[in-house]
Amino acid sequence: MTQDRIRNFSIIAHIDHGKSTLADRILEVTDTVSGRDMRAQVLDSMDLERERGITIKAQAVRVLWKGHQLNLIDTPGHVDFTYEVSRSLQACEGAVLVVDAAQGVEAQTVANALLAIENDLEVLPVVNKIDLPQADPDGSSAEIAELIGGEAGDVLRISAKTGLGVDAVLDAVVERIPAPVGDPQAPARALIFDSSYDQYRGVVAFVRVVDGSFKTAEALLAMAQGTRFEAEELGFFSPTMQATATLESGEVGYVITGLKDVSRLRVGDTLTSLGTPAAGPLPGYKDVKPMVFSGLFPTDSDAYPDLRDALERLKLNDAALIYEPETSQALGFGFRCGFLGLLHMEIVRERLEREFDLDLLVTAPNVAYRVVTIGGEELEVHNPSEMPDEIERVEEPYIRASVIVPKEYVGSVMELCTERRGSFDHMEYLSEQRVVLIYELPLAEVVVDFYDQLKSRTRGYASFDYDVIDFREGELVKLDVLIAGEPVDALSLIIHRDSAYGRGRALVDRLRAEIPRQMFDVPVQAAIGARVIARETIKAKRKDVLAKCYGGDITRKRKLLERQKAGKKRMKQVGAVEVPQEAFLAVLNLNEDSR
Amino acid sequence: MTGAVRHLYVHLPFCAHRCGYCDFVTVVGRGGEHRSYVGALLAELELERSLLAAEVETVFVGGGTPTLTEAAELRRLLEALPSAGEVTVEANPETVTPEVARLLRESGVNRVSLGAQTFQAELLQVLERRAAPWDVRRAFYHLRDAGFDNISLDLIYGIPGQAAADLEADIDEALALGPEHLSCYELEAKPGTRFTHRHGEELVRQSDALEGYFERVVGKLTEAGYRWYETANFCLPAEREGGRDLRAHHNLAYWLGRDYLGVGIGAVSTVAGRRWQNTPRLPLYVASSGRGEPPPRDLEELSTDVRRRERVMLGLRLDEPLTLAGVSGVLDGDALTRLEALDLVIRDRGGPSGDALTLTPRGRLLGGGVTAELLA
């Protein structure tokens, strides 16, 4: 199809504003899927995504509408995947911005709309869920107009659920979103905006062809990484895979690469023909770096190989996940994993537990620190145990956070941000009722339950988004926990000096409550370097005997002792002290449930 | 043909009432069956007679409440038992009349173990004991009057509602009677029992306070001159008693790993590496006896390893050194070093019978944990 009859667009929305429902309805209205075959929310393929109402991996679906080829490119819905969202948007000329008529503009609405505008996309605003009794289409339209400019009256009003107004959205896509303007005669160039892994066919790249065309069996090159492979199959989704001989300029489709390693083909890279390569890649590729790190250990040490296999398999589909083996004295063998952000970490953890049936101990998350030693050496630290002793300065990542709340919660949000070492940047009114607050915060302060606190202090009304902006020096210290004088590596934290005392006290109190009394006094300490900042003693047991033991009791008492011995084997040994796994769990949970 | 077993246990299960905390094999309300049961006991003894040595050292008649058994049947039983240097019968205070005391004495019994448990009326009620505090004292006097010069009192501590002062009072009362021997047990509230159901929460509330009771018992009794010769057992020392060794010799046989024969329902025997337990069911026991057969039994073969472990487990309950020869294979050497460093265990190198282990007083208070550590 010629480029003037092609339209490439995304649907962007805050979580639960109806993106997936609209996508489903589009497939129905265009007869891409019959109503009977319609599995609710076709585009979300993983159970986990459906449950959380988010989409991790983008797909693109081709539909036909009134003689036009429309490619609907799905975007990931969350803050951790901003880079992926921006790649998806780069593959489009326009975006349908969906806003819930009852909720109005939310933080990700703003973030996504700004991303779309930055990518020079035509933004087509839509107010959804107008059938809901509490819908306020006028108010929401006004907020959108305030956000992206234009007239509130131009905002389309639909109900994706009932299908009302969906054909008007498609008409508007054709009329208002520009056709692609690549050069069909130039050497081929395509943007990889997503990839996926199939166990039989290897890495599948989702691409938007910008210039020229690609043919099946052609030798291809990924320009930034230099990866070479053959295009085993080209095609598009409609909504199932349809093979095709060529992908032409302006079109969106997939390339089956046969590559066995997802990390060899990165989102944002440019594909070209190895025979007649383009002069240069498309703009915008960047290597995404993990920002949040945490140790993952199997609760049952025998499950270590299972964890390793599971991570390998997840990694196939998730190039952003990194991991390396880590050995903890207290928790045994595990992996230190790097994630794009908190949600990414949660998703990985849940998939490991749910899809791979693993029981995990997860250490407190930390961010990437840049450390300069007294000797002038610079290093990046991902694990508190790697923190050098002689430190000149430590820098930590900062974010620019935007929080959108009804105005009565502004005070609560400011209070929370201040507690978390945030500095206020500015505040804007989105409408009479709603405010966007911009704060700069250390990422480290956000990775531990910031989002839950934000939600609970605003009765669930706040929405939140962030971007990492830079690294800044901070008064950061390493807080160690010692049991009977032995540091417990898995419990070390890097923390701001001002919070160290409170956290150390909480850790020590919790451990004292959780570690059973031993045959000797056990001091439990929290320390910064050699300075102990909190201390408790678990007093020694005073008695531990089997009350009586005569001829009739011997077998039973012996079995009791054997069980006692077996129980000890399940304990984690810290020096001479036996610490039940539950104690570690309780302390690690402390990071989640009390600040 | 005679065997080598020198220790005989006889079980008399009848009780007037089952106390809430009790986990022994007992039978309540079968008054008419004493005769047939004693008959079956004697039949079993006859069947196993060949296991016993010509000279039996100890006989222990335990229960239940042996002294609740009809006098004529009790006498018939006692007179049929082999004579021995130590013949002990367990008694509940409320059942000890001057007549019963005399009966025991006349039937060759030379030691009585009296289940006092506590001298506090309310605590006796918590334990569902039938006796009143006065019954305990009176029973003791009846036994003395009948000529018993070796009487043991059982005390229980850690009773729900028992304050430290109650415990002190119990020990003082017991000491005032001047028994040759005392057994002091911490109350074991077994999960799922009626007792735990009723008192479990109180016990949890008390648990911190109870922690120190064992120490207190040991402290008070040793201060009064008693020898703490086993985890839960105390006796007047030989040097004060004209050389009489007042330890419970029957029980000492268990702790030293000797073989023993047990007859009666639920009774356990250990002979030459095999352990068996008779059925706890009275009708089955009597019926098989009627057929001239041994009662149904659970059999356990004790491997060499298990026997060594038991040697350690039992031997470390005593105040005398445990000889390591023969058991060192089941000990964890690292644990031993650790426990020595904690001053819980003393390793005696080159004693009279080779290397030996003794627990320090604190090690004995923690004996269960220490043993679990030591067993590799």
Cα–Cα distance, B187 to B195 (Å, whole number): 11
Q: A382, A397 in Cβ contact below 8 A?
A: no
Nearest 5 degrees, angle CA B348-CA B351-CA B354?
A: 95
B366 touches A: beta carbon within 8 Å: yes
Q: How big is the CA angle at A526 (ends A523 and A528), to the nearest 5 degrees?
A: 135
Q: Per-residue pLDDT tens for B53-110? A: 999 999 999 988 999 999 999 999 999 999 999 999 999 999 999 999 999 999 999 9
- The Cα diameter of chain A in Å comes to 97
Are the C-beta atoms of residues A245 and A258 closer than 8 Å to each other? Answer: no
Say if B36 is an interface residue toward chain A (CB within 8 Å). Answer: no
Q: Which residue of A has its CA nearest to B188?
A: A547
Residue A304, H or E segment: helix A304-317
User: What is the maximum span of chain B, computed from C-alpha positions, in angstroms?
Assistant: 60
> Is the peptide bond prior to B225 cis by the omega test (within 30 degrees of 0)?
no
Q: Which CATH architecture has domain B304-374?
A: Orthogonal Bundle (1.10)
Residue A343: which of A395, A381, A290 has the closest Cα?
A: A290
DSSP B331: B
Residue of A544, A550, A558 lying closest to B251 (CB–CB): A550
Indicate left, alpha or beta for B16 from its phi (over 0: left) and psi (-120 to 50: alpha): alpha
Edge to edge, the sheet with strand B227-230 lists B227-230, B233-235, B181-186, B151-157, B111-117, B84-91, B56-63, B7-12, B261-263
- Kindly state the tokens that stand for A278: 């383009």
- From first CA to last CA, the distance across chain B in angstroms is 40
Helix pair angle (B34-48, B282-290), 10° resolution: 60
pLDDT recorded at residue B194: 81
**Who's near A581: CB < 8 A, 6+ residues apart?**
A299, A361, A570, A571, A572
CB-based burial label for B171 (10 Å; 0-12, 13-18, 19+): buried
Residues B305-309 have a mean pLDDT of 94
Residue B326, pLDDT above cutoff 70 = yes
Q: Is B308 on the interface with A (CB under 8 A)?
A: no
Q: Is B163 helix (H, G, I), strand (E, B) or coil?
A: coil
| CA distances for A51 relative to A19, A48, A158, A349, A357, angstroms | 15, 5, 24, 15, 18
Annotate B263-280 with DSSP letters as a single string.
ESTT-EEEETTEEEEE-S
Tens of pLDDT, residues B128-184? 888 888 999 999 999 999 999 999 999 999 999 899 999 999 999 999 999 999 999
Chain segment B336-346, per-residue pLDDT in tens: 999 999 999 99
Q: Is the minimum CB–CB distance between B313 and chain A shorter than 8 Å?
A: yes
CB contact under 8 A, B365 and A545: yes
pLDDT for the residue A80: 61
Helix (H) or strand (E) holding A254: strand A252-256
Q: Given pLDDT bands bounded at 50, 70 and 90, which one contains residue B16?
A: confident
The whole-number pLDDT of residue A568 equals 74
* pTM strictly above 0.90: no
Beta strands in A498-566 (DSSP E): 522-528, 531-538
Domain positions in chain B: 7-254, 304-374
- Least CB–CB distance from A561: residue in B260, B270, B371: B371
**Six token digits for residue B163:** 């304050």
Q: ipTM of this model?
A: 0.90
Residue pair A390/A372 in contact by the 8 Å Cβ criterion:
no
Q: What is the CATH number of domain B7-254?
A: 3.80.30.20
Rounded to 5 degrees, what angle do the CA atoms A310, A314, A319 make?
Answer: 145
| pLDDT tens-place values along chain A, 595 residues long | 789 999 999 998 888 888 888 988 998 899 887 655 555 545 444 444 444 333 334 478 899 999 999 999 987 655 566 677 777 888 999 999 999 999 998 887 887 888 888 788 999 999 999 999 999 999 999 999 988 888 988 999 999 999 999 999 999 999 999 999 999 999 999 999 888 877 778 888 999 999 999 999 999 999 988 999 999 999 998 877 889 999 999 999 999 998 888 778 888 899 999 999 999 999 876 767 788 899 999 988 889 999 999 998 888 767 778 899 998 877 889 999 999 887 788 888 888 988 888 988 888 888 999 999 998 899 999 988 888 888 899 999 999 998 988 899 999 999 999 999 999 999 998 888 889 999 999 999 988 778 888 888 988 788 888 888 999 999 999 999 999 999 988 888 899 998 899 989 999 999 998 898 999 999 999 999 889 999 999 999 988 887 788 988 899 999 988 888 777 776 777 888 888 877 887 777 665 544 3
Query: In chain B, whose CA is at the least distance from the CA of A560?
Result: B372
Report d(CA A94, CA A114) in Å as an integer: 13
Say how far apart CA B267 and CA B62 lie, in whole Å: 10
Q: Do B215 and A554 touch (CB under 8 A)?
A: no
- Provide the pLDDT for residue A81: 66
B231 interaction partners in chain A (CB closer than 8 Å): 545-546, 549
In A103-232, the DSSP E strands lie at 122-128, 156-157, 189-198, 202-211, 214-215, 219-222, 227-230
* Residues of chain B contacting residue A563, judged by C-beta atoms under 8 Å apart: none
Question: Taking CB atoms and an 8 Å limit, are A555 and B275 in contact across chains?
Answer: yes
- pLDDT number for residue A283: 83
Find, in chain A, the residue whose alpha carbon is nearest to that of B154: A548
Specify the pLDDT at position A146.
Answer: 87
At A55 the pLDDT is: 35
Strand partners, B322: B357
Residue of A nearest to B364 (CA): A545
Interface test mutation site (partner A, options B187, B190, B366, max chain A beta carbons within 10 A): B366
**Contact criterion met (CB < 8 Å) for A542 and B260:** no
β-strand partners of A198: A202
Do the first three CATH levels of B7-254 and B304-374 match, i.e. the same topology? no
B124 torsion bin: left (phi>0), alpha (psi -120 to 50), beta (else) = alpha
CB contact A564 to B (< 8 Å):
yes
φ, ψ for residue A283 (rounded to 5)? Answer: -70, 160
Helix A304-317 × helix A342-354 angle, to 10°: 120
